[in-house]
């Protein structure tokens, strides 16, 4: 019989999962060639603005396969609704049985993306940080901050957002994170003061146009061909450009935009799984500029769905 789990059970199970380690496994399994991931399915909406992503796949030799639907509708907060939603379907790989429906309302996607950002910070962020820059003040920016606390020692944050009311609400939600949070009057303040910058917006135009030496950027928001948060020149100047998938970065994300602009070649892009596994070097010194372009891959969904399902099953 198919089990159906709702958000309360899912949140409780997550409290006992090392999600950062799960994301590291997800990246390594992908880069080892163990994952079978069809192209991303997506629907893009313009009035109101939003997108729906369908990601699915399996890891060879694993017990399960996963189909995930996740949406982002960016005017929803003005309606009193969450901007993200969705669910995950967990199937048995040997028989095709639908084992569980995880009605996570998009929370698992938010969490696995944030944990991926923390995994990236472990291998690419400078060791000495005075301030962390957060561009955007939505749900993902909040989750990034919560998981970064497990990856870096710095507890000072500078955040930028377009809407003052949204910024104030974000700071209230993040008051329990243990970070000292300040508001940047402009993005240039983050570029000047922060050597670890996380961008979390659905922008269709570059927000960052340059960075200082020794900066790492984790770009989260550009997960469709239309979105872009970084000027291509930033990637061209970087010492390391890392992606979750070299295949996927050719059709979406910051690398896609830089390739299309002709400022870099695919041969200069490495996969995070190879860095985490030790096959490619991560940050070598605090003067390097590094960029991680995360467009999201289904191995992340496989790992978090399995961990939550097995955690709930163990409790029951």
Q: Could you report the per-residue pLDDT of 245-268, keeping only the tens digit for each?
A: 999 999 999 999 999 999 999 999
Classified as helix, coil or strand, 186 is coil
For 105, how many CA atoms within 13 A lie in the half-sphere containing its CB? 10
Residues ≥6 apart with Cβ < 8 Å to 164:
none
If one counts every other C-beta atom within 10 angstroms of the C-beta of residue 255, the result is: 29
Q: Which residue has the higher pLDDT, 138 or 290?
A: 290
Percent of the chain clearing pLDDT 90 (strictly above): 93
What is the predicted pLDDT for the residue at 224?
A: 87
Residues whose CB is less than 8 angstroms from the CB of residue 48 and which lie 6 or more positions away in sequence, other chains included? 73, 74, 75
pLDDT given for residue 316 in this prediction: 59
Is 68 one of the catalytic residues? Answer: yes
Q: Which two tokens stand for residue 118?
A: 């923390």
Tokens of 193: 């003061």
The CATH number fitting domain 3-108+299-315, selected from 3.20.20.70, 3.40.50.300, 3.40.1160.10, 3.30.1780.10: 3.30.1780.10
The arithmetic mean of pLDDT across residues 168-180, rounded, is: 94
pLDDT of residue 78: 85
pLDDT-derived band at 71, boundaries 50, 70, 90: very high
What is the CA angle 246-54-98, rounded to 5? 115
pLDDT(315) > 70 = no
CA distance 223 to 235: 16
Q: Where are the domains of the chain?
A: 3-108+299-315, 126-296
**Between residues 166 and 32, the one the model is more confident about:** 32
Neighbours of 150 (CB within 10 A): 14
For residue 77, the model assigns a pLDDT of: 86
Q: What is the C-alpha separation between 258 and 247, in angstroms, rounded?
A: 15
| Per-residue confidence (pLDDT) for residue 1, from 0 to 100 | 85
Tell which residue, 14, 230, 257, 216, has the closest CA to residue 126: 216
Average pLDDT, the chain: 95
pLDDT at res. 67:
98
Structure tokens given for 215: 């900066």
Q: How confident is the model at residue 60 (pLDDT cuts 50, 70, 90)?
A: very high
| Mean pLDDT, rounded, for 281-302 | 96
Q: What is the Cα–Cα distance from 144 to 204, expressed in whole angstroms?
A: 21
Tally helices (H) and strands (E) across the chain: 10, 15
What pLDDT does 266 receive? 96
Question: Is 212 exposed, middle or buried, given 0-12, 13-18 or 19+ CB atoms closer than 10 A?
Answer: exposed
Is there a contact between 21 and 150 (Cβ–Cβ < 8 Å)? no
- Phi/psi for 102 (5° steps) reads -100, 100
Helical residues (DSSP H) of the chain, grouped into ranges: 7-14, 19-31, 107-124, 139-148, 164-173, 187-193, 232-237, 253-261, 272-276, 298-315
φ/ψ of 179, rounded to 5, equals -95, 145
Cα distance between residue 225 and residue 72, in whole Å:
15
Q: How confident is the model at residue 175 (pLDDT cuts 50, 70, 90)?
A: very high
Per-residue confidence (pLDDT) for residue 86, from 0 to 100: 96
Q: Which of 55, 68, 127, 227 is catalytic?
A: 68
Kindly report the CATH class assigned to 126-296: alpha beta
């Amino acid at each position: 019989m198919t089990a159906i789990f709702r958000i309360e059970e899912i949140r409780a199970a997550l409290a006992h999962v090392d999600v950062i380690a799960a994301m590291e496994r997800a990246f390594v399994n992908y880069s080892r060639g163990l994952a079978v991931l069809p192209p991303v399915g997506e629907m893009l909406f313009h009035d109101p603005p939003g997108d729906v992503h369908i990601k699915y796949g399996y890891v060879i030799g694993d017990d399960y396969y996963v189909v995930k639907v996740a949406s982002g509708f960016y005017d929803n907060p003005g309606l009193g609704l969450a901007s993200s939603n969705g669910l995950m379907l967990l199937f048995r790989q040997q028989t095709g049985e639908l084992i569980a429906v995880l009605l996570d309302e998009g929370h698992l996607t938010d969490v696995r993306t944030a944990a991926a950002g923390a995994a990236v910070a472990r291998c690419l962020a400078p060791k000495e940080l005075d301030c962390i820059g957060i561009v955007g003040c939505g749900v993902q920016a909040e989750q990034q901050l919560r998981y970064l606390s497990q990856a870096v020692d710095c507890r000072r944050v500078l955040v930028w957002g377009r809407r003052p009311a949204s910024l104030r609400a974000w700071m209230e939600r993040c008051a329990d994170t243990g970070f000292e949070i300040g508001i940047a009057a402009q993005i240039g303040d983050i570029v000047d003061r922060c050597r670890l910058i996380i961008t979390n917006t659905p922008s269709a135009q570059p927000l960052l146009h340059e960075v200082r030496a020794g900066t790492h950027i984790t770009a989260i928001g550009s997960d469709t061909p239309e979105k872009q948060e970084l000027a291509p020149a930033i990637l061209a100047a970087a010492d390391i450009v890392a992606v979750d998938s070299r295949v996927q970065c050719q059709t979406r994300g910051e690398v896609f935009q830089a390739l299309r602009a002709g400022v870099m070649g695919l041969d200069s892009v490495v996969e995070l799984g190879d860095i985490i596994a030790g096959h490619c070097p991560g940050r070598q010194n605090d003067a390097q500029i590094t960029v991680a372009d995360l467009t999201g891959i289904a191995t992340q969904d496989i790992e978090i769905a399995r961990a939550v399902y097995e955690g709930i099953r163990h409790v029951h």
